[in-house]
């Protein structure tokens, strides 16, 4: 099987994306995760750009990576400056990485309008810098910036710049679709032409401005490229870079290439994706192919029935191959198959045509008419099953709660205070909580009331809180649906509450969230 080199540029090109930044320690942690995943190259940053990137190169040398090579990124020398005196080139050497990636101009427009130099001088800049870095013992990967736009403008000149890098000793020449506007058929044809002309192994680097970043990368590989660059989760400037979380499984599972050290590492893909999302403080893309939360989520009753009989009927791969899992959604489209599989998940064992199944389906339909939605609140649905089957034992009994929101004149924030009375095992607890808002105060008071009896709830924290108005024509008297997402650091679950009173709806979702944690631990 043909080996494709995986080159990750999340730490350099990825951070050019809007709202994305990593601390120095965060970059080290991501690099170690990428090494665990099995990528071949990790681009650590732009050597001449900022102190944080140079600090990364210094620190990462102390880490014992299993496989990946760290790469420093930089540009060709400046026009009319000897390469040995060029600050950017010297910064690449100071990074002390075994490999360096150098970008140069392939498009005449950039040579004349951006670099403000001649076409011949640009070729000399490319050749001089590649040759100098090779003489200093570096593996040199040459990124031909804007190559496809340059080729469409002048095939002769774009090819001349590529030859300048190859003849100077570049180990890889990478064709870059920097503006992201080229389509797969063009990528395939041009890559194939270059592969026939250039002896140096060819790579591909695409951006996603036409929503073709992954398709373009795969097309280039099928045309002969053996090296692909991209980022985890497709992070990058504008619309992002080609997404390695889609490229890697497509190469291995669909096209039969090898690109990690072993296929078992592919099972770390989803965890790696979520780890990078976590360090950017961004919510994962639920709809992402292969690794998204919805990638193997099934909702329609016929689909779920097919999945139950043979997973291949509605899944293009086994979710476990990429570290994901199948999810069965519960909604107005649900049939008995959905509910049956949810019951199996909970360890319950009864027949699809049993009276218990009919009871659960009837209660589901009744509650959905009232505005409940369990598609995004699986924990609440699992609790509902327990209640309908009379298998649920309440962990506490509510005696009452009160919430006060107070504003003093026009100065300072609103103050929220909640009192909660509950009974646990015959003992009554009466607690007061404060928070930034009424729901936060209610959550604080409930935790205080239960912590003595159920210390495990100290691990639970809210990760999301959403409110939906169900009947907006009722204005401020409208019924509201509250969805709460919670986590204990290991598991994540969602719960729902519905009421004309937003505080009561929030209370319902909070109670389900806390009880589900205790249900998990029992």
| Confidence at residue 343, expressed as pLDDT on a 0 to 100 scale | 65
| Confidence at residue 371, expressed as pLDDT on a 0 to 100 scale | 78
Q: Which long-range contacts (CB under 8 A, 24 or more apart) does 482-485 make?
A: 482/506, 482/508, 482/509, 483/376, 483/377, 483/509, 484/509, 484/510, 484/513
Residues 6+ apart with CB under 8 A from 452: 429
Return the sign of the alpha-carbon dihedral for residues 329, 335, 336, 337. Answer: negative
Is 451 within 8 Å of 458 (Cβ atoms)?
Answer: yes
Cβ count within 10 A of residue 111: 24
- Residue with tokens 């400046």, as numbered in its chain: 78
Encoding tokens for residue 129? 């810098």
SS3 sequence, 412-461? CCCEEEEEEEEEECCEEEEEEEEECCHHHHHHHHHHHHHCCCCHHHHHCE
- Per-position DSSP letters for 39-53, written without gaps between them: -SEEEEEETTT-HHH
Smallest CA-to-CA distance from 373 within 479, 287, 282 is with 479
| Confidence at residue 334, expressed as pLDDT on a 0 to 100 scale | 53
CA distance 235 to 351: 46
Q: For the chain, what is the largest distance between any 2 Cα atoms, rounded to a whole number of angstroms? A: 88
Q: Which residues pair with 481 in a beta bridge?
A: 468, 498
| Confidence at residue 473, expressed as pLDDT on a 0 to 100 scale | 66
Cβ count within 10 A of residue 128: 20
Q: Report CA-CA distances (Å) from 56 to 36, 69, 97.
A: 18, 14, 11
Helix and strand tally (H, E) in the chain? 17, 16
Is 405 within 8 Å of 415 (Cβ atoms)?
Answer: yes
CA distance 62 to 168: 32
Residues 6+ apart with CB under 8 A from 81: none
Cβ count within 10 A of residue 519: 18
Q: CA 142, 146, 152, 153: dihedral to nearest 10 degrees?
A: -110
Is 300 within 8 Å of 338 (Cβ atoms)?
Answer: no
CATH topology of domain 397-521: Double Stranded RNA Binding Domain (3.30.160)
| Confidence at residue 407, expressed as pLDDT on a 0 to 100 scale | 79
CA distance 383 to 281: 30
Q: Report CA-CA distances (Å) from 330 to 342, 369, 384, 465, 467.
A: 9, 14, 12, 20, 19
Encoding tokens for residue 426? 């015959």
Would you write out the chain's pLDDT as a tens digit for each of its 522 residues?
Answer: 799 999 999 999 999 999 898 888 899 999 999 999 999 999 999 997 778 889 999 999 999 999 999 999 999 999 999 999 999 999 999 999 999 999 999 999 999 999 999 999 999 999 999 999 999 999 999 999 999 999 999 999 999 999 999 999 999 999 999 999 999 999 999 999 999 999 999 999 999 999 999 999 999 999 999 999 999 999 999 999 999 999 999 999 999 999 998 889 999 999 999 899 888 888 889 899 999 988 877 765 566 566 667 777 777 898 889 998 877 665 554 555 566 666 666 566 666 667 777 777 777 777 777 777 776 677 887 888 778 777 777 888 999 999 998 877 777 778 899 999 999 989 999 999 998 888 889 999 999 999 999 999 888 888 888 888 876 666 666 788 898 888 888 888 889 899 988 899 999 999 889 888 888 777
Which H or E element spans position 145?
A: strand 139-145
Q: CA 294, 296, 299, 301: dihedral to nearest 10 degrees?
A: 180
Q: In the CATH scheme, what is the homologous superfamily, with its name and number, of domain 5-261?
A: Aldolase class I (3.20.20.70)
For the chain, what are the domain ranges? Answer: 5-261, 297-388, 397-521
CA distance 352 to 284: 34
- What are the backbone angles phi and psi of residue 367, rounded to the nearest 5°? -70, -35
CA distance 461 to 398: 21
């Amino acid at each position: 099987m043909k080996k494709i080199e995986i080159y990750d540029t999340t730490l350099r090109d990825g951070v050019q994306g809007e709202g994305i930044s990593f601390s120095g320690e965060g970059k080290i942690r991501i690099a170690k995760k990428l090494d665990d995943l099995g990528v071949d190259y990790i681009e650590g940053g732009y050597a001449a750009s900022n102190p944080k990137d140079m600090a990364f190169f210094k620190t990462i040398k102390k880490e014992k990576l299993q496989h990946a090579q760290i790469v420093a990124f930089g540009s060709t020398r400046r026009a009319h400056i000897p390469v040995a005196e060029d600050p950017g080139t010297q910064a690449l050497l100071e990074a002390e990485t075994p490999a360096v990636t150098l970008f140069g101009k392939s498009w005449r427009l950039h040579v004349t309008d951006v670099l403000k130099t001649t076409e011949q001088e640009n070729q000399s800049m490319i050749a001089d810098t590649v040759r100098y870095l090779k003489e200093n013992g570096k593996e040199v990967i040459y990124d031909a910036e804007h190559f496809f736009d340059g080729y469409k403008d002048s095939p002769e000149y774009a090819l001349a710049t590529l030859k300048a890098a190859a003849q100077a000793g570049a180990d890889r020449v990478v064709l870059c679709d920097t503006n992201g506007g080229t389509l797969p058929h063009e990528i395939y044809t041009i890559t194939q032409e270059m592969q026939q002309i250039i002896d140096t192994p060819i790579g591909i680097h695409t951006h996603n401005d036409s929503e073709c970043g992954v398709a373009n990368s795969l097309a280039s590989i099928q045309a002969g490229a053996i090296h692909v660059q991209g980022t985890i989760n497709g992070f990058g400037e504008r619309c992002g870079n080609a997404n390695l979380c889609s490229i890697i499984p497509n190469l291995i599972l669909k096209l039969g290439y090898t690109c990690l050290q072993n296929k078992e590492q592919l099972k770390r893909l989803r965890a790696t994706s979520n780890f990078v999302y976590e360090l950017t403080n961004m919510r994962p893309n639920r709809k992402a192919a292969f690794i998204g939360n919805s990638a193997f989520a099934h909702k329609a009753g016929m689909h779920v029935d097919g999945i139950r009989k043979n997973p291949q009927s509605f899944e293009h791969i086994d979710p476990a191959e990429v570290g994901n899992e199948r999810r069965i959604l519960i909604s107005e489209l649900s049939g008995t198959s959905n509910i049956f599989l949810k019951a199996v998940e909970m360890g319950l064992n009864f027949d699809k045509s049993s009276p218990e199944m009919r009871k659960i389906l009837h209660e589901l339909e009744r509650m959905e008419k009232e505005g409940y939605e369990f598609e995004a609140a699986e924990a609440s649905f699992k609790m509902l099953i327990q209640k309908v089957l009379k298998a649920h034992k309440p962990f506490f009994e509510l005696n009452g709660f009160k919430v006060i929101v107070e504003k003093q004149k026009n100065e300072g924030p609103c103050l929220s205070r909640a009192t909660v009375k509950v009974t646990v095992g015959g003992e009554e607890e009466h607690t007061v909580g404060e928070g930034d808002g009424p729901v936060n105060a209610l959550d604080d008071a409930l935790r205080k009331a239960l912590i003595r009896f159920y210390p495990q709830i100290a691990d639970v924290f809210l990760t999301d809180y959403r409110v939906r108005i169900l009947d907006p024509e009722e204005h401020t008297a409208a019924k509201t649906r509250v969805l709460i997402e919670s986590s204990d650091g290991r598991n994540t679950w969602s719960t729902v509450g519905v009421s004309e009173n937003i505080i009561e709806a929030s209370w319902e979702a909070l109670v389900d969230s806390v009880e589900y944690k205790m249900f998990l631990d029992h």
